[in-house]
Structure 1
Amino acid sequence: MATAQLLHIGQKPKTLKETSLFPNRVATEQQSMVLVKRLLAVSISCITYLRGLFPESSYGTCYLDDMCLKILREDKSCQGSLQIVKCRIQGCFDALEKNYLHMAVLTIYTNPKEPEHMTEFYRFKFKYSRNGPQMDFDSGDTQGNFTNGGNSEEIKQASILLIRKLYVLMQNLGPLPNDITLTMKLFYYNDVTPNDYQPPGFKEGNISDCLLFDGEPVNLKVGSVSTGFHIMKVRVTTDSKRMGLLESNLVEENGSTEISHQGLDCDEEEEEGSTKKLRLDSAFSQEEASGPGKKRKVSMPVNSILAAQHL
């Protein structure tokens, strides 16, 4: 089994300067967009590093409070991490800047010939206000509604809390299988996204097929952050066997082993109740889909599925 790399928490060396990951002020749409993009990049870096997907050479180091963060960088010696940085993350940034992106789903599976059989996946969901996008990281707004976002310091602290929670979660999950594969799909707001739009590195995808989960899926809520311009939520779904001693308050509900694409988009209120299936048919309203019978627009990577170098 693979061994995940560890997060180091402690006194940062005095010889190293603390990198300013987040803007000091979040008072404009542009400043909020900078925060959203950096949070997304740091989150993906956290997941890939602590799940042991790429070699150490694929990461740079920076410090945030007492956390030593590993951030993905362009590593020409590792094509997998290079694709994530140059194609996947940059594609997300393009869709975010245009206010098109509704959700990015980072998926891990074991058989390259059966990408619909997932073993773990991560959802990053975005909402935009009329004045710009918003992002929700454990602000207490469980319905995902827009708020004033608090002051800049509160937003920064909420962002740090989200990263800390994600790191703790990744460190405490059991190891992934060997020889895993990584891919990403992007979902859009149909009412504003042109039919022919595809971000760099992506092509038109298919959402007609159901997804199958290898094992017993457990849905974990990491959190959300609101800036007054953007909301971004983070959710993780993994096999119950990897849970170990994780706190039960992270668990939303055990899921079905059969998950439709729209089911990936369910909010907390849609996941409550007796049903354990993440439902695709109710996740999008007709208003969101711009009329009955219109499929949710989705993109998938242009290149062949990324084979992660699991360590």
Structure 2
Amino acid sequence: MAIAQLSHSIRIHKASKETIFPSQITDERESLVMVKKLFATSISCITYLRGLFPESSYGERHLEDLSLRILREDKKCPGSLHVIKWIQGCFDAMEKKYLHMAVLTLYANPEEPEKVTEIYQFKFKYTKEGITMDFDSNTSIGTGTKSEDIKKASILLIRKLYILMQNLGPLPNDVTLTMKLHYYNAVTPHDYQPPGFKEGVNSHILLFEGEPINLQVGMVSTGFHSIKLKVITEATRVFDLENNLFQENSTTEIAHQGLDCDEEEEECNDQIHRTNVAYSQQSSESSRKKRKVSEPVKLFIPDRK
């Protein structure tokens, strides 16, 4: 089955600074469109700024003074087609309100997928509490918040993501890219798999060679949906990040933590360790309850230009 262009599947049209995000959010359908666009735009920014795919795999869009690159169908680059299909699979799980986390992971050795280089964690919630806004996971604006405020928070998240990408050290020449999907078990059918995904392994151990640093990029809530983005990488690969990010939002958090887990919702307790201590923790993995996980075919991206 042919893969539709990402820009078409989330209804991003050309030639306007106002078309990346909707001008208003008054119902659940408009909220879903907003979250899809924010997620797809973020994935596009990550893959573009980390140099994973060639220029031909992206179309140009403008958001205020930002020139964005959005993934599009590029038959000359099969890897970008796979990522587009992953995003579309996430859309399916969002529409059904099954998706809890989408975790995009980069690692250098295909034989050791647990030894990661970078992790991008997108966390989703589905509510019907009326329009609310959370700019930094610390300051909320109550019911009745204007759609323009939601749009501003989305733009802020993209700006901070751009700053982060520009301050990360270079990736290895050869990298492998994958995306694991974690679900809300209580509502997700046991046999559900979105397009482009298969049943995955719910591993609780991820390893970094050095000390991992946890960067809370931002959270946007519409009152119907919320999306939260966190990035984890090695502290030594971050250049001048603290000054740049803290100047824009002083509440940005940096901590040594693992994947986000809500105590009332999560059955997992994922942790990220330094290599020299991780294996001592693996004995406890079998005692943890497993969350349903999906994963796609992994992408090996050799000799990036």
Counterpart AA for 2:256: N
Match of 1:71 in 2: 70
CA–CA distance in 1 between the matches of 2:158 and 2:177? 21
Q: Give how far 1:131 is off.
A: 6.6
Q: Give how far 1:213 is off.
A: 1.7
Q: Equivalent pairs: percent with the same residue?
A: 60
Q: Show structure 1 runs of 5+ residues with no match.
A: 1-14, 256-262, 269-276, 280-291
CA–CA distance in 2 between the matches of 1:159 and 1:88? 22
Does 2:131 align with 1:165?
Answer: no
Assess, with a 3 A threshold, how the Cα gap between structure 1 residues 147 and 76 changes in structure 2: closer, same or farther.
Answer: farther
Q: Decide which of 247, 252, 255 is 1:253's aligned counterpart.
A: 255
Q: Give how far 1:242 is off.
A: 1.5
Q: Decide which of 283, 297, 308 is 2:301's aligned counterpart.
A: 308
Match of 1:101 in 2: 99
Match of 2:8 in 1: none
Deviations 1:216-241 (A, max 9, x none): 21100100011010111000001111
Q: Give how far 1:135 is off.
A: 9.7
Q: Give how far 1:175 is off.
A: 1.1
CA–CA distance in 2 between the matches of 1:131 and 1:254? 32
* 1:53-132 to 2 correspondences below 5 Å: 53-85=52-84, 87-130=85-128
Tell me if the contact between 1:148 and 1:227 (Cα under 8 Å) persists in the aligned partners.
no
* 1:1-311 to 2 correspondences below 5 Å: 17-18=16-17, 20-85=19-84, 87-130=85-128, 139-142=135-138, 148=143, 150-247=145-242, 249=246, 250-255=252-257, 263-266=258-261, 278=272, 294-301=289-296, 303=297, 305-308=298-301, 310-311=304-305
Q: Give how far 1:307 is off.
A: 1.5
Tell me if the contact between 1:225 and 1:231 (Cα under 8 Å) persists in the aligned partners.
yes
Tell me if the contact between 2:57 and 2:73 (Cα under 8 Å) persists in the aligned partners.
yes
Aligned residues: 264
CA–CA distance in 2 between the matches of 1:116 and 1:22? 35
Counterpart AA for 2:23: N
Q: Give how far 1:142 is off.
A: 3.8
CA–CA distance in 2 between the matches of 1:233 and 1:147? 18
Deviations 1:27-72 (A, max 9, x none): 1100000000000000000001011111111100010100100001
Counterpart AA for 1:31: E
Counterpart AA for 2:41: V
TM-score (norm 1): 0.78
Tell me if the contact between 2:205 and 2:272 (Cα under 8 Å) persists in the aligned partners.
no
Secondary structure of 2:207's partner?
Answer: strand
Q: Give how far 1:251 is off.
A: 4.4
Match of 2:280 in 1: none
Q: Show structure 2 runs of 5+ residues with no match.
A: 1-13, 247-251, 264-270, 274-286
Tell me if the contact between 2:132 and 2:142 (Cα under 8 Å) persists in the aligned partners.
no
CA–CA distance in 1 between the matches of 2:135 and 2:22? 18
TM-score (norm 2): 0.79
Tell me if the contact between 1:146 and 1:226 (Cα under 8 Å) persists in the aligned partners.
no
Could you list the structure 1 runs, at least 4 aligned residues long, displaced by more than 3 angstroms after superposition. 15-19, 140-143, 145-149, 248-251
Q: Give how far 1:90 is off.
A: 0.5
